[in-house]
Amino acid sequence: MQCICQVESNCKMPNPVCRMDVVSFSCGPYQIKEPHYHDAKLMGKDLDGDWKKCTETFDCSERCVQGYMAWYAISSRIGHDPTCEDFARIHNGVTNGYKNSKTLGYWFNVATCLGRRVGL
């Protein structure tokens, strides 16, 4: 998760917390979109009651990403034990990002942070 945070925001709280990202707002150090927040809540996570409020803290933002991954990055859904690549690509490309070629560049950035060599 640390490298996802690095790629998204250099692991710093953005100011302002939310920014327009293509077609919708992304907030906090993990650049969480509102639908991600609501999906993470489905896992029963206590997420401070509000998307923007949650993304204003590292703790809640991390719980939100963990909840989202617990819902979507699971072996019964993706057909194998999730890898760091799966987590990164789902974070970037939403539910089916793990198999979307458009998330490979994002994975390359996360893998570089992890110190891994990947071919694209």
Give the active site residue among 8, 39, 48, 86. 8
For residue 16, give the H/E element and its range.
Answer: none
Amino acid at 10: N
Residue 8 catalytic?
yes
Half-sphere exposure for 120 (CA within 13 Å, toward CB):
13
Residue 85 catalytic?
no
Burial of 80: CB neighbours in 10 Å, binned 0-12, 13-18, 19+:
exposed
In degrees rounded to 5, what are phi and psi of residue 115?
A: 80, 20
Q: Which residues are catalytic?
A: 8, 21
